[in-house]
């Protein structure tokens, strides 16, 4: 739904969060150093107990040294449906394995799959395309180690939220162009798809709904370095149709009160126009980041269950 059209109001359960982050005297993202922003993000991250999985922290080979990953495996007698390589959100500047842990665990249980969560290098210390290169290296490792992960002969997907959704889309495109790894699906949760453009949802949702335009501009400035924001490595929405036509099926979840709403929808529409199977769900009353807020809204768990069911189908080859 377009932000300009009639829409249901934002979920009132978010009001205490809005009051906290937008209170007078609280620094905006652009007023923080990257380290201050990382500390703030950790403090805001809600970690609720998620049992029924086991985890292993290890490192895999990367282009500039080892890349830390966390392997999350459901504790079940059933064989895993496959693997999801998960790239956390945080504007390419903040976030890590711990801030992504709750969502990774919930997705592992919902999809019945192994989740390999990737701790890629962050900007501005490591500007683009460092994060892409680390995520690609982790995806290559997964493709070559399915037996080690307990899914010999199985399939794997890539996914991420926000900046992680951007990285997942870019990795899916790289696989289609050059890799031949055989990524089976991409789960894009309120993804960044166009760092060179501004949509109507930037105007409608750019202030007062947790993620702001100010924060997005700060993230972009820190991440891009010398990379042109219109380069598909930064803005997968700007890839040509010939590339999009060859990417794997996509599950795209967007939030109605998110500055990134319209570019997520636009990417889903471009994939469909290119002939890609797309499962798009617009959570109209939600805000950016709601996947990580299961203690605030039950919609977070509902969305993860929906994503998990779609991943099960795609990883099992059922469509």
Among 193, 189, 192, 254, smallest CA distance to 2 is for: 254
Segment 51-58 shows an average pLDDT of 96
Catalytic residue at 288? yes
Q: For residue range 284-316, what is the model confidence (pLDDT) as tens digits?
A: 999 999 999 999 999 999 999 999 999 999 999
* Euclidean distance between CA atoms 171 and 36, whole angstroms: 29
Continuous segment of H or E residues that includes residue 59? strand 53-62
- The whole-number pLDDT of residue 317 equals 82
- The whole-number pLDDT of residue 169 equals 99
Q: Is 106 within a domain? A: yes
Q: Is 292 within a domain? A: yes
Q: Is 169 within a domain? A: yes
Q: For residue range 140-194, what is the model confidence (pLDDT) as tens digits?
A: 999 999 999 999 999 999 999 999 999 999 999 999 998 889 999 999 999 999 9
Q: Is 3 within a domain? A: no
Other C-beta atoms lying within 10 Å of the C-beta of residue 295: 12
Task: Say whether 311 sits in a helix, a strand or coil.
Answer: helix
Give CA separation, 35 vs 129, 221, 252, in Å: 20, 16, 30
The first and second tokens of residue 239, run together, are: 């890839």
Q: Is 279 within a domain? A: yes
Q: Is 7 within a domain? A: no
- What is the total count of domains within the chain? 1
State which residues form the domain around 16. Answer: 12-316
Q: For residue range 211-223, what is the model confidence (pLDDT) as tens digits?
A: 999 999 999 999 9
Task: Say whether 272 sits in a helix, a strand or coil.
Answer: helix
Size of the chain in residues: 319
Q: Is 5 within a domain? A: no
> Tell me, what CATH number does 154's domain have?
3.40.50.1820
Q: Which residue in the list 162, 220, 235, 239 is annotated as catalytic?
A: 162
- The whole-number pLDDT of residue 5 equals 57
* Euclidean distance between CA atoms 119 and 319, whole angstroms: 30
* Euclidean distance between CA atoms 19 and 24, whole angstroms: 9
Catalytic residue at 162? yes
Q: Is 130 within a domain? A: yes
Among 60, 75, 63, smallest CA distance to 117 is for: 60
Q: Which residue in the list 102, 119, 133, 258 is annotated as catalytic?
A: 258
């Amino acid at each position: 739904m377009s932000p300009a059209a009639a829409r249901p109001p934002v979920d009132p359960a978010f009001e205490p969060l809005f009051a906290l982050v937008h209170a007078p005297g609280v620094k905006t993202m652009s007023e923080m150093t990257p380290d201050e922003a990382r500390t703030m993000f950790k403090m805001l991250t809600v970690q609720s107990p998620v049992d029924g999985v086991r985890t292993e922290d290890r490192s895999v080979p990367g282009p500039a040294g080892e890349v830390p990953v966390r392997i999350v495996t459901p504790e079940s007698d059933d064989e895993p449906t496959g693997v999801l390589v998960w790239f956390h959100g945080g504007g390419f500047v903040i976030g890590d394995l711990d801030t992504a842990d709750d969502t990774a665990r919930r997705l592992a249980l919902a999809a019945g799959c192994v989740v390999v969560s990737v701790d890629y290098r962050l900007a501005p210390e490591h500007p683009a395309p460092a994060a892409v290169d680390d995520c690609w290296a982790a995806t290559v490792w997964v493709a070559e180690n399915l037996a080690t992960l307990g899914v010999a002969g199985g399939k794997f997907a890539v996914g991420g939220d926000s900046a992680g959704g951007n990285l997942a889309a870019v990795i899916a495109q790289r696989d289609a162009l050059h890799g031949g790894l055989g990524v089976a699906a991409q789960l894009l949760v309120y993804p960044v798809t166009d760092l060179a453009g501004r949509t109507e949802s930037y105007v409608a949702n750019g202030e007062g709904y947790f993620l702001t335009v100010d924060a997005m501009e700060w993230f972009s400035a820190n991440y891009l370095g010398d990379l042109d924001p219109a380069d598909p490595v930064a803005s997968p929405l700007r890839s040509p149709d010939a590339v999009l036509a060859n990417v794997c099926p996509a599950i795209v979840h967007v939030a109605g009160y998110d500055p990134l709403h319209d570019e997520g929808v636009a990417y889903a529409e471009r994939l469909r126009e290119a002939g890609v199977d797309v499962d798009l769900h617009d959570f109209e009353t939600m805000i950016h980041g709601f996947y990580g807020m299961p203690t605030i809204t039950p919609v977070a768990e509902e969305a993860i269950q929906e994503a998990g069911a779609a991943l099960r189908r795609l990883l099992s080859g059922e469509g």
